[in-house]
Amino acid sequence: MSEDTIFTEIDDELRSERMKALWRRFGPWVIGTAFLIVLLVAANEGWRWYQNDIAAKSSDQFYAAIELVQEGDFEAANIALNATIATGSGQYPTLARFAQASLLASEGKTAEAVAAYDALANTQKNTRMREMALLLGATALVDSGDVAGVESRIFGLLTPLNPLRNVAREALGLAKYAAGDFDGARAEFATIIADPAVSLDLLRRVQVYEAQLVSLGAKIPDASEDVTN
């Protein structure tokens, strides 16, 4: 995709809607990341465990609960997830806890969701699972503009080699926007844009965020300013 095409899309976005509309468009992606990541982890880990003949029954139990979620039957899904937590083997009880936390977030029960993610983060020995719980807990706080809450959870993910660093910065930038700190939000988005390893999808989203923030009066960083810290 050419640079001209990207900026044409940004200009169209600026003409049609303000930042709140962008949040309505992209906000669900941030909050919905919880459930998506759970599904991806479940697919990857579930296949590995199945291949090793580990926890086959728990696999069936867990995926049956996920199907109930997809069908919108959250009450039945919670019952099934509780059963997986109580009787499941392998890592399926942990995945079920992630799924339950994501359901709480999707239902607007932010405090309960964050508490569930924090509990997961505090009990995980696997570094990536712990980091995922911290990130998802942070994303649940984005809409309320709780910058301190988001930052305290994603601080350790902002290292140069952490694969979650840019998604974590996106959550922090959106939290700063929600709190009214447009300059701070733009600084976070500029750091993402400066990362040569940023994915194209995230780059395009953040360029739209950044352009809209400039239109709202956010400061344009000096060319000599370091945005990679």
pLDDT given at position 193: 93
Instruction: Tell me: pLDDT of 194 over 60.
Output: yes
Instruction: Tell me: pLDDT of 76 over 70.
Output: yes
C-alpha of 229 from chain center: 21
The CA distance from 157 to 168, in Å, is 7
Average pLDDT of 99-117?
A: 90
Report CA-CA distances (Å) from 214 to 15, 186, 189, 192, 217.
Answer: 13, 8, 12, 16, 5
Contact indicator for 171, 30 with CB cutoff of 8 Å: yes
- Residue 225 in any domain: the answer is no
Residue 137: what residue type?
G
Report for 15-24, 54-63, 91-100: range of highest mean pLDDT: 91-100
The CA distance from 105 to 95, in Å, is 15
To the question of pTM greater than 0.85 for the whole model, the response is no
Domain extent at residue 35:
3-215
* Structure letter (DSSP) for residue 20: H
Report for 58-62, 70-74, 85-89, 141-145: range of highest mean pLDDT: 141-145
Q: What are phi and psi of 209, to 5 degrees?
A: -55, -50
Which two structure tokens, joined as six digits, stand for 24? 């309505």
Q: 3-33, pLDDT tens digit by residue?
A: 444 444 444 444 444 555 555 554 544 445 5
Sorting pLDDT into bands at 50, 70 and 90, what band is 153? very high
- Residue 224 in any domain: the answer is no
The CATH number covering residue 164 comes to 1.25.40
Average pLDDT of 103-116?
A: 91
- Residue 125 in any domain: the answer is yes
Q: How many structural domains compose the chain?
A: 1
Average pLDDT of 169-198?
A: 92
- Residue 49 in any domain: the answer is yes
- Residue 221 in any domain: the answer is no
- Residue 75 in any domain: the answer is yes
Instruction: Tell me: pLDDT of 96 over 70.
Output: yes
- Residue 178 in any domain: the answer is yes
Sorting pLDDT into bands at 50, 70 and 90, what band is 41? low
Judge residue 104's burial from the number of C-beta atoms within 10 Å of its C-beta, 0-12 exposed, 13-18 middle, 19 or more buried.
buried
- Residue 158 in any domain: the answer is yes
pLDDT given at position 13: 47
Average pLDDT of 41-62?
A: 61
